[in-house]
Protein backbone atom coordinates (compact mmCIF):
# COMPACT_ATOMS: atom_id res chain seq x y z
CA UNK A 1 0.00 0.00 0.00
CA UNK A 2 1.36 3.45 -0.91
CA UNK A 3 1.64 6.41 1.45
CA UNK A 4 -1.13 8.22 -0.42
CA UNK A 5 -3.41 5.24 0.13
CA UNK A 6 -2.64 5.32 3.83
CA UNK A 7 -3.38 9.00 4.32
CA UNK A 8 -7.19 8.73 4.70
CA UNK A 9 -6.81 6.13 7.41
CA UNK A 10 -4.59 8.55 9.32
CA UNK A 11 -7.19 11.30 9.22
CA UNK A 12 -5.02 13.47 7.02
CA UNK A 13 -5.91 16.19 4.60
CA UNK A 14 -3.89 16.93 1.49
CA UNK A 15 -0.17 17.07 2.26
CA UNK A 16 0.20 20.25 0.18
CA UNK A 17 -1.06 22.28 3.16
CA UNK A 18 2.43 21.87 4.56
CA UNK A 19 5.27 24.06 3.37
CA UNK A 20 6.46 22.27 0.22
CA UNK A 21 9.72 20.38 0.13
CA UNK A 22 10.86 20.76 3.73
CA UNK A 23 8.82 18.21 5.70
CA UNK A 24 9.45 14.46 5.71
CA UNK A 25 7.42 12.72 3.04
CA UNK A 26 5.46 10.81 5.68
CA UNK A 27 4.07 13.98 7.26
CA UNK A 28 0.61 15.37 6.59
CA UNK A 29 -1.93 17.59 8.30
CA UNK A 30 -5.03 16.20 9.92
CA UNK A 31 -8.40 17.90 9.84
CA UNK A 32 -8.00 19.01 13.46
CA UNK A 33 -4.62 20.67 12.87
CA UNK A 34 -2.75 17.60 14.00
CA UNK A 35 0.55 16.80 12.29
CA UNK A 36 0.96 13.14 11.44
CA UNK A 37 4.60 12.02 11.43
CA UNK A 38 5.42 8.55 10.08
CA UNK A 39 1.88 7.52 10.99
CA UNK A 40 1.89 8.92 14.54
CA UNK A 41 0.22 12.13 15.85
CA UNK A 42 2.93 14.58 16.89
CA UNK A 43 0.93 15.88 19.86
CA UNK A 44 0.71 12.32 21.20
CA UNK A 45 4.46 11.87 20.79
CA UNK A 46 5.05 15.16 22.63
CA UNK A 47 2.81 14.03 25.49
CA UNK A 48 4.58 10.68 25.72
CA UNK A 49 8.21 11.76 25.38
CA UNK A 50 8.06 15.40 26.49
CA UNK A 51 9.46 18.45 24.74
CA UNK A 52 11.72 19.43 23.20
CA UNK A 53 12.12 16.15 21.34
CA UNK A 54 13.83 15.08 18.16
CA UNK A 55 11.71 12.81 15.96
CA UNK A 56 13.28 10.75 13.16
CA UNK A 57 11.43 8.81 10.47
CA UNK A 58 13.19 5.47 10.06
CA UNK A 59 11.56 4.69 6.71
CA UNK A 60 12.66 8.07 5.33
CA UNK A 61 16.28 7.47 6.37
CA UNK A 62 16.25 4.07 4.72
CA UNK A 63 14.61 5.47 1.58
CA UNK A 64 17.27 8.18 1.26
CA UNK A 65 20.01 5.57 1.67
CA UNK A 66 18.44 3.40 -1.03
CA UNK A 67 18.04 6.39 -3.36
CA UNK A 68 21.78 7.11 -3.18
CA UNK A 69 22.76 3.48 -3.64
CA UNK A 70 20.37 3.16 -6.61
CA UNK A 71 21.72 6.34 -8.21
CA UNK A 72 25.35 5.19 -7.80
CA UNK A 73 25.30 1.39 -7.95
CA UNK A 74 29.00 1.15 -8.86
CA UNK A 75 30.18 3.56 -6.17
CA UNK A 76 30.63 3.24 -2.44
CA UNK A 77 28.15 5.41 -0.53
CA UNK A 78 29.41 6.11 3.00
CA UNK A 79 27.13 7.71 5.56
CA UNK A 80 28.83 10.70 7.21
CA UNK A 81 28.17 9.69 10.80
CA UNK A 82 28.90 13.14 12.21
CA UNK A 83 25.44 14.16 10.95
CA UNK A 84 23.68 11.78 13.36
CA UNK A 85 25.67 9.06 15.11
CA UNK A 86 23.50 6.74 17.17
CA UNK A 87 23.35 2.96 17.33
CA UNK A 88 19.95 2.74 15.67
CA UNK A 89 20.80 5.10 12.82
CA UNK A 90 24.08 3.33 12.10
CA UNK A 91 22.24 0.01 12.16
CA UNK A 92 19.69 1.31 9.62
CA UNK A 93 22.32 2.53 7.17
CA UNK A 94 24.40 -0.62 7.61
CA UNK A 95 21.36 -2.74 6.75
CA UNK A 96 20.83 -0.59 3.65
CA UNK A 97 24.34 -1.45 2.46
CA UNK A 98 26.02 1.87 3.15
CA UNK A 99 29.60 2.28 4.33
CA UNK A 100 30.48 4.65 7.18
CA UNK A 101 32.54 7.82 7.40
CA UNK A 102 33.80 8.53 10.93
CA UNK A 103 35.99 11.22 12.45
CA UNK A 104 36.68 10.15 16.04
CA UNK A 105 37.24 7.22 18.37
CA UNK A 106 33.78 7.92 19.79
CA UNK A 107 32.06 7.46 16.44
CA UNK A 108 34.07 4.29 15.87
CA UNK A 109 32.94 3.06 19.31
CA UNK A 110 29.29 3.51 18.35
CA UNK A 111 29.89 1.66 15.06
CA UNK A 112 31.77 -1.09 16.86
CA UNK A 113 28.98 -1.51 19.42
CA UNK A 114 26.55 -2.59 16.68
CA UNK A 115 29.10 -4.61 14.71
CA UNK A 116 29.31 -2.24 11.74
CA UNK A 117 31.68 -4.01 9.32
CA UNK A 118 35.16 -2.53 9.80
CA UNK A 119 36.00 -3.02 6.12
CA UNK A 120 33.24 -0.51 5.28
CA UNK A 121 34.49 2.22 7.64
CA UNK A 122 36.68 5.25 6.90
CA UNK A 123 38.31 7.56 9.45
CA UNK A 124 39.12 11.14 8.58
CA UNK A 125 39.67 14.46 10.36
CA UNK A 126 42.24 17.24 10.39
CA UNK A 127 43.63 16.51 13.86
CA UNK A 128 43.23 12.87 14.75
CA UNK A 129 44.45 12.09 18.23
CA UNK A 130 46.53 9.00 18.99
CA UNK A 131 43.36 7.58 20.58
CA UNK A 132 41.46 8.08 17.30
CA UNK A 133 44.17 6.33 15.31
CA UNK A 134 44.50 3.49 17.82
CA UNK A 135 40.73 2.94 17.83
CA UNK A 136 40.71 2.66 14.04
CA UNK A 137 43.67 0.28 13.98
CA UNK A 138 42.30 -1.88 16.78
CA UNK A 139 38.93 -2.32 15.10
CA UNK A 140 40.49 -2.90 11.68
CA UNK A 141 39.04 0.15 9.93
CA UNK A 142 39.98 -0.40 6.30
CA UNK A 143 40.90 3.16 5.29
CA UNK A 144 42.27 6.17 7.13
CA UNK A 145 42.35 9.57 5.42
CA UNK A 146 45.61 11.38 6.15
CA UNK A 147 45.53 15.13 6.69
CA UNK A 148 49.04 16.22 7.67
CA UNK A 149 52.68 15.17 7.54
CA UNK A 150 52.68 14.76 11.32
CA UNK A 151 49.75 12.38 11.07
CA UNK A 152 51.50 10.30 8.42
CA UNK A 153 54.46 9.85 10.75
CA UNK A 154 52.27 9.04 13.77
CA UNK A 155 50.13 6.49 11.94
CA UNK A 156 53.20 4.90 10.41
CA UNK A 157 54.62 4.36 13.89
CA UNK A 158 51.36 3.01 15.34
CA UNK A 159 50.34 0.62 12.54
CA UNK A 160 51.70 -2.91 12.86
CA UNK A 161 50.16 -4.20 9.63
CA UNK A 162 49.74 -2.60 6.21
CA UNK A 163 47.08 0.05 6.78
CA UNK A 164 45.27 1.39 3.71
CA UNK A 165 45.31 5.18 3.58
CA UNK A 166 44.09 8.04 1.40
CA UNK A 167 45.56 11.54 1.27
CA UNK A 168 43.17 14.45 1.63
CA UNK A 169 43.66 17.12 -1.03
CA UNK A 170 42.27 20.65 -0.97
CA UNK A 171 41.22 20.99 -4.63
CA UNK A 172 40.69 24.76 -4.63
CA UNK A 173 37.00 24.48 -5.55
CA UNK A 174 34.48 26.56 -3.63
CA UNK A 175 31.19 25.05 -2.57
CA UNK A 176 29.46 28.46 -2.55
CA UNK A 177 28.34 27.88 1.02
CA UNK A 178 28.85 29.58 4.38
CA UNK A 179 32.50 30.22 5.27
CA UNK A 180 32.18 28.19 8.48
CA UNK A 181 31.30 25.06 6.50
CA UNK A 182 33.59 25.54 3.48
CA UNK A 183 36.41 22.98 3.33
CA UNK A 184 37.59 22.73 -0.29
CA UNK A 185 39.37 26.06 -0.68
CA UNK A 186 42.64 27.63 0.41
CA UNK A 187 42.84 29.21 3.85
CA UNK A 188 41.10 26.54 5.94
CA UNK A 189 42.44 23.71 8.04
CA UNK A 190 41.73 20.59 5.99
CA UNK A 191 43.94 18.65 3.62
CA UNK A 192 47.04 19.30 1.52
CA UNK A 193 46.69 22.48 -0.49
CA UNK A 194 47.48 22.71 -4.19
CA UNK A 195 47.70 26.51 -4.20
CA UNK A 196 51.48 26.58 -4.67
CA UNK A 197 51.45 23.81 -7.22
CA UNK A 198 51.04 20.06 -6.86
CA UNK A 199 54.73 19.40 -6.26
CA UNK A 200 55.00 21.80 -3.31
CA UNK A 201 52.36 20.14 -1.14
CA UNK A 202 50.96 16.85 -2.35
CA UNK A 203 54.35 15.46 -3.32
CA UNK A 204 55.67 15.77 0.21
CA UNK A 205 52.67 13.85 1.50
CA UNK A 206 52.92 11.12 -1.13
CA UNK A 207 56.64 10.72 -0.55
CA UNK A 208 56.12 10.56 3.21
CA UNK A 209 53.50 7.79 2.92
CA UNK A 210 55.60 5.77 0.47
CA UNK A 211 58.51 5.76 2.92
CA UNK A 212 56.32 4.21 5.64
CA UNK A 213 56.44 0.40 5.33
CA UNK A 214 53.26 0.02 7.41
CA UNK A 215 51.13 2.27 5.16
CA UNK A 216 49.59 1.43 1.79
CA UNK A 217 48.51 4.45 -0.26
CA UNK A 218 45.33 3.50 -2.16
CA UNK A 219 43.69 6.79 -3.12
CA UNK A 220 42.90 10.46 -2.68
CA UNK A 221 40.15 12.25 -0.77
CA UNK A 222 38.60 15.70 -1.01
CA UNK A 223 35.61 17.53 0.45
CA UNK A 224 34.14 20.85 -0.71
CA UNK A 225 32.04 21.78 2.30
CA UNK A 226 28.56 21.35 3.67
CA UNK A 227 25.12 22.35 2.36
CA UNK A 228 26.43 22.57 -1.22
CA UNK A 229 23.70 22.95 -3.86
CA UNK A 230 25.71 23.31 -7.09
CA UNK A 231 26.53 19.98 -8.72
CA UNK A 232 28.97 21.66 -11.12
CA UNK A 233 31.29 22.22 -8.16
CA UNK A 234 31.61 18.46 -7.69
CA UNK A 235 32.27 18.10 -11.41
CA UNK A 236 35.12 20.62 -11.14
CA UNK A 237 36.51 18.78 -8.12
CA UNK A 238 36.36 15.43 -9.94
CA UNK A 239 38.30 16.82 -12.90
CA UNK A 240 40.92 18.33 -10.63
CA UNK A 241 41.30 15.13 -8.63
CA UNK A 242 41.83 12.99 -11.74
CA UNK A 243 44.56 15.43 -12.75
CA UNK A 244 46.20 14.86 -9.35
CA UNK A 245 45.81 11.08 -9.62
CA UNK A 246 47.54 11.17 -12.99
CA UNK A 247 50.32 13.34 -11.53
CA UNK A 248 50.95 10.79 -8.77
CA UNK A 249 51.11 7.99 -11.32
CA UNK A 250 53.45 9.86 -13.64
CA UNK A 251 55.73 11.04 -10.83
CA UNK A 252 55.84 7.99 -8.57
CA UNK A 253 54.71 5.13 -10.78
CA UNK A 254 51.83 4.47 -8.37
CA UNK A 255 48.30 4.11 -9.76
CA UNK A 256 45.84 4.97 -7.01
CA UNK A 257 42.56 3.10 -7.50
CA UNK A 258 40.27 4.98 -5.07
CA UNK A 259 38.81 8.49 -5.20
CA UNK A 260 36.67 9.89 -2.39
CA UNK A 261 34.80 13.08 -3.34
CA UNK A 262 33.27 13.65 0.10
CA UNK A 263 29.70 14.76 0.71
CA UNK A 264 28.03 17.97 1.83
CA UNK A 265 24.97 17.62 -0.41
CA UNK A 266 22.37 20.25 0.43
CA UNK A 267 18.85 19.77 1.77
CA UNK A 268 15.96 22.21 1.89
CA UNK A 269 15.28 23.95 5.20
CA UNK A 270 12.90 26.53 3.71
CA UNK A 271 10.54 26.24 0.71
CA UNK A 272 12.65 28.82 -1.15
CA UNK A 273 15.87 26.85 -0.68
CA UNK A 274 17.52 25.10 -3.58
CA UNK A 275 17.72 21.34 -3.21
CA UNK A 276 20.37 18.95 -4.47
CA UNK A 277 19.97 17.43 -7.92
CA UNK A 278 21.18 13.88 -7.28
CA UNK A 279 20.47 12.68 -10.82
CA UNK A 280 22.28 15.67 -12.31
CA UNK A 281 25.17 15.11 -9.91
CA UNK A 282 25.51 11.49 -11.03
CA UNK A 283 25.35 12.37 -14.73
CA UNK A 284 27.96 15.12 -14.50
CA UNK A 285 30.30 13.04 -12.37
CA UNK A 286 30.19 10.14 -14.82
CA UNK A 287 30.92 12.39 -17.79
CA UNK A 288 33.70 14.29 -16.00
CA UNK A 289 35.42 11.19 -14.64
CA UNK A 290 35.05 9.29 -17.91
CA UNK A 291 36.48 12.10 -20.00
CA UNK A 292 39.37 13.00 -17.69
CA UNK A 293 40.42 9.39 -17.13
CA UNK A 294 40.21 8.59 -20.85
CA UNK A 295 42.18 11.65 -21.89
CA UNK A 296 44.93 10.87 -19.38
CA UNK A 297 44.96 7.10 -19.93
CA UNK A 298 44.01 6.57 -16.29
CA UNK A 299 41.73 3.71 -15.19
CA UNK A 300 38.42 4.78 -13.67
CA UNK A 301 38.95 4.85 -9.91
CA UNK A 302 36.54 3.32 -7.45
CA UNK A 303 34.39 6.24 -6.34
CA UNK A 304 33.33 6.92 -2.75
CA UNK A 305 30.94 9.67 -1.68
CA UNK A 306 29.94 10.65 1.85
CA UNK A 307 26.39 12.03 2.21
CA UNK A 308 25.26 12.62 5.79
CA UNK A 309 22.86 15.54 5.96
CA UNK A 310 21.14 14.33 2.78
CA UNK A 311 20.39 10.95 4.39
CA UNK A 312 19.04 12.01 7.80
CA UNK A 313 18.31 15.76 7.59
CA UNK A 314 14.96 15.58 5.77
CA UNK A 315 13.84 12.66 7.96
CA UNK A 316 13.75 14.63 11.23
CA UNK A 317 11.62 17.21 12.98
CA UNK A 318 11.89 18.83 16.41
CA UNK A 319 8.87 19.50 18.63
CA UNK A 320 8.84 22.35 21.14
CA UNK A 321 6.29 23.66 23.62
CA UNK A 322 5.60 27.39 23.84
CA UNK A 323 6.64 28.88 27.21
CA UNK A 324 5.82 32.54 26.60
CA UNK A 325 4.54 34.95 23.96
CA UNK A 326 5.71 38.59 24.15
CA UNK A 327 3.78 40.97 21.93
CA UNK A 328 5.02 44.45 21.16
CA UNK A 329 6.89 46.14 18.33
CA UNK A 330 8.15 42.64 17.66
CA UNK A 331 6.44 39.43 18.75
CA UNK A 332 8.64 36.82 20.38
CA UNK A 333 7.54 33.23 20.89
CA UNK A 334 9.77 31.57 23.48
CA UNK A 335 9.98 27.77 23.50
CA UNK A 336 11.41 25.20 25.90
CA UNK A 337 14.49 24.51 23.78
CA UNK A 338 16.86 26.67 21.76
CA UNK A 339 20.51 26.90 20.85
CA UNK A 340 21.44 23.92 23.03
CA UNK A 341 19.38 21.60 20.78
CA UNK A 342 19.85 23.56 17.52
CA UNK A 343 23.16 25.39 17.35
CA UNK A 344 23.04 25.98 13.58
CA UNK A 345 21.30 29.40 13.55
CA UNK A 346 23.84 30.83 16.02
CA UNK A 347 26.83 29.11 14.39
CA UNK A 348 26.24 30.16 10.81
CA UNK A 349 22.90 31.86 10.42
CA UNK A 350 20.90 28.81 9.35
CA UNK A 351 17.24 29.56 8.60
CA UNK A 352 14.25 27.44 9.62
CA UNK A 353 10.50 27.46 9.47
CA UNK A 354 8.08 26.28 12.16
CA UNK A 355 4.36 25.69 12.45
CA UNK A 356 1.67 25.24 15.07
CA UNK A 357 0.67 21.59 15.52
CA UNK A 358 -1.92 19.83 17.65
CA UNK A 359 -4.78 22.22 17.05
CA UNK A 360 -6.34 24.15 14.20
CA UNK A 361 -6.35 27.95 14.30
CA UNK A 362 -8.35 30.33 12.13
CA UNK A 363 -6.64 33.39 13.64
CA UNK A 364 -4.87 35.85 11.39
CA UNK A 365 -1.19 35.20 10.77
CA UNK A 366 1.33 37.67 12.17
CA UNK A 367 5.12 37.87 11.82
CA UNK A 368 6.76 36.31 14.88
CA UNK A 369 10.25 35.31 15.96
CA UNK A 370 10.73 31.94 17.64
CA UNK A 371 13.41 32.16 20.31
CA UNK A 372 14.95 29.75 22.77
CA UNK A 373 15.23 29.73 26.54
CA UNK A 374 18.95 30.41 26.82
CA UNK A 375 20.58 33.54 28.18
CA UNK A 376 21.78 34.77 24.80
CA UNK A 377 20.23 37.40 22.52
CA UNK A 378 21.36 35.29 19.60
CA UNK A 379 19.29 32.31 20.75
CA UNK A 380 16.91 32.56 17.80
CA UNK A 381 15.47 29.45 16.16
CA UNK A 382 13.40 31.02 13.37
CA UNK A 383 12.83 34.66 12.46
CA UNK A 384 9.88 36.48 10.91
CA UNK A 385 7.52 33.51 10.64
CA UNK A 386 3.83 33.87 9.87
CA UNK A 387 2.19 32.23 12.89
CA UNK A 388 -1.40 32.39 14.25
CA UNK A 389 -2.14 35.47 16.34
CA UNK A 390 -3.80 33.31 19.01
CA UNK A 391 -0.61 31.36 19.72
CA UNK A 392 -0.33 30.86 23.47
CA UNK A 393 1.56 29.13 26.27
CA UNK A 394 1.29 25.35 26.01
CA UNK A 395 0.98 25.24 22.22
CA UNK A 396 3.25 22.94 20.26
CA UNK A 397 5.53 24.08 17.45
CA UNK A 398 7.24 21.71 15.02
CA UNK A 399 10.40 22.56 13.09
CA UNK A 400 11.19 20.48 9.97
CA UNK A 401 14.47 19.18 8.56
CA UNK A 402 16.24 18.72 11.88
CA UNK A 403 17.59 15.19 11.44
CA UNK A 404 21.17 16.29 10.78
CA UNK A 405 23.55 18.15 13.12
CA UNK A 406 20.94 18.87 15.79
CA UNK A 407 21.47 15.87 18.04
CA UNK A 408 25.17 15.87 17.07
CA UNK A 409 25.79 19.51 18.01
CA UNK A 410 23.56 19.57 21.09
CA UNK A 411 25.07 20.96 24.29
CA UNK A 412 24.26 21.43 27.98
CA UNK A 413 24.37 25.22 27.91
CA UNK A 414 22.67 26.64 31.03
CA UNK A 415 22.85 23.02 32.29
CA UNK A 416 19.81 21.99 30.29
CA UNK A 417 19.59 18.31 29.42
CA UNK A 418 19.74 17.31 25.78
CA UNK A 419 16.47 16.14 24.19
CA UNK A 420 15.55 12.55 23.43
CA UNK A 421 15.72 11.08 19.94
CA UNK A 422 12.56 9.16 19.04
CA UNK A 423 12.41 6.87 16.02
CA UNK A 424 9.01 6.48 14.37
CA UNK A 425 7.98 3.94 11.77
CA UNK A 426 4.48 2.93 10.66
CA UNK A 427 2.96 4.76 13.61
CA UNK A 428 5.15 3.00 16.20
CA UNK A 429 7.48 5.19 18.25
CA UNK A 430 10.68 3.89 19.84
CA UNK A 431 12.96 5.80 22.19
CA UNK A 432 16.41 5.66 20.55
CA UNK A 433 18.28 8.07 22.85
CA UNK A 434 16.70 9.02 26.18
CA UNK A 435 16.42 12.55 27.50
CA UNK A 436 19.38 13.73 29.52
CA UNK A 437 18.52 14.22 33.18
CA UNK A 438 19.88 16.41 35.95
CA UNK A 439 21.41 13.26 37.43
CA UNK A 440 23.30 12.77 34.15
CA UNK A 441 24.62 16.32 34.34
CA UNK A 442 25.74 15.90 37.95
CA UNK A 443 27.35 12.50 37.38
CA UNK A 444 30.43 14.00 35.74
CA UNK A 445 30.85 16.76 38.35
CA UNK A 446 33.02 15.23 41.04
CA UNK A 447 32.81 18.26 43.33
Task: Give 374-404 pLDDT, tens digit per residue.
Answer: 999 899 999 999 999 999 999 999 999 999 9
Secondary structure of residue 363 in the 3-state scheme: coil
Place 199 in a pLDDT band, splitting at 50, 70 and 90.
low
Whether pLDDT at 1 is above 70: no
CA–CA separation, 443 vs 404, rounded Å? 28
pLDDT of residue 96: 98
Is 134 in the same domain as 265? yes
Mean pLDDT on 122-134: 96
**How many degrees, rounded to 5, is the angle at CA 436 between CA 382 and CA 320?**
25
Please state, for a pLDDT cut of 70, what percent of the chain lies above it.
91
Q: What is the mean pLDDT of residues 70-96?
A: 98
List beta partners, residue 192.
Answer: 169
Question: Are 66 and 53 members of one domain?
Answer: no
Predicted pLDDT at 197: 52
9 pLDDT exceeds 50? no
CATH of the domain at 165: 3.20.20.10
**Mean of the per-residue pLDDT values for the chain?**
91
Dist. CA 88–CA 68, nearest whole Å: 19
Residue 332's domain is classified under what CATH number?
Answer: 2.40.37.10
Structural domain ending residue among the three candidates 313, 335, 357 = 313
Query: Which residues face 356 on adjacent strands?
Result: 397
Rounded to an integer, the average pLDDT of 211-216 is 97
Taking the C-alpha atoms of residue 189 and residue 208, their distance in angstroms, rounded to an integer, is: 20
Q: Write down the pLDDT at residue 6.
A: 39
423, pLDDT greater than 80: yes
Final residue in a domain of this structure, among 285, 313, 341 = 313
C-beta of residue 305 within 8 angstroms of C-beta of residue 78: yes
H or E stretch at 446: none
Q: Of the candidates 313, 334, 353, which is a domain's last residue?
A: 313
What is the model's pLDDT at position 13? 45
Q: Average pLDDT, stretch 311-315? A: 98
Q: Which of 56-70, 165-179, 295-309 has the lowest mean pLDDT?
A: 165-179
Q: State yes or no: is 12 an active-site residue.
A: no
pLDDT recorded at residue 194: 78
Average pLDDT over residues 414-437: 98
398 in the same domain as 294: no
Q: Band of the pLDDT at 119, cuts 50, 70, 90?
A: very high
Give the H/E segment covering residue 219: strand 215-221
Compute the average pLDDT of residues 81-106. Answer: 98
Query: What is the pLDDT averaged over residues 110-137?
Result: 97
Question: What pLDDT does residue 222 have?
Answer: 93
Q: How far, in Å, CA of 328 to CA of 252, rounded?
A: 69
Whether residue 151 is found in the same domain as residue 23: no
Domains in the chain, number: 2
Mean pLDDT across 131-136:
98
CA dist 380 and 119 (Å) reads 42
Tell whether the model's pLDDT for residue 5 goes beyond 50. no
pLDDT at 31: 78
Which pLDDT does position 184 carry in this prediction? 39
pLDDT at 169: 93
Q: What is the strand order of the sheet 28-29 is part of?
A: 28-29, 35-37, 40-41
What residue numbers bound the domain in which 108 lies?
A: 58-313
Mean pLDDT of 276-282: 96
Residue 20: band (very low, low, confident or very high) from pLDDT cuts 50, 70, 90: confident
* Residues 173 and 224 occupy one common structural domain: yes
At 202 the pLDDT is 87
Q: Is the pLDDT of residue 328 over 80?
A: yes
What is the per-residue pLDDT for 172? 73
Do 208 and 241 lie in one domain? The reply is: yes
Q: Are residues 166 and 76 in the same domain?
A: yes
Q: Are 77 and 144 in a shared domain?
A: yes
Residues 62 and 200 in one domain: yes
CB contact at 8 A, 361 and 382: no
> Binning pLDDT at 50, 70 and 90, where does residue 179 land?
very low
Q: Distance between CA 402 and CA 316 in Å, rounded?
A: 5
Whether 362 and 415 map to the same domain: the answer is: yes
Rounded CA separation 264/55 (Å): 22
Res 427: pLDDT: 97
Per-residue pLDDT, averaged over 158-180, amounts to 79
Q: CB of 115 within 8 A of CB of 125?
A: no
Catalytic residue chosen out of the listed positions 28, 85, 375, 401: 375
Give yes or no: residues 128 and 193 share one domain: yes
Q: Is pLDDT of 17 > 90?
A: no
Q: Where are the alpha helices (DSSP H) in 212-328?
A: 231-252, 278-296, 309-312
| pLDDT for 39 | 96
Do 408 and 426 belong together in one domain? yes
Amino acid sequence: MTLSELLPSLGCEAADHLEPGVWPRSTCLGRDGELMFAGAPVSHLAARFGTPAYLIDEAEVRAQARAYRHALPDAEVAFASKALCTRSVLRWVAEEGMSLDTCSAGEIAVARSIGFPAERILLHGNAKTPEDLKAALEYGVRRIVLDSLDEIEQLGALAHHRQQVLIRVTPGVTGDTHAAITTGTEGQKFGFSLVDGVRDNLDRAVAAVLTQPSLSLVGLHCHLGSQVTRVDRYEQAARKMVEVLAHVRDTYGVTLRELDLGGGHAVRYLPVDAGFDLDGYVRRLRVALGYECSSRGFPLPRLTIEPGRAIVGPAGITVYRVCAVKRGSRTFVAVDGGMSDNARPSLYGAKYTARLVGRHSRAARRPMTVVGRHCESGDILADDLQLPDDLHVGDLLAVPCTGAYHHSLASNYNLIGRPPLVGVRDGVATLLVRRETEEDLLARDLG
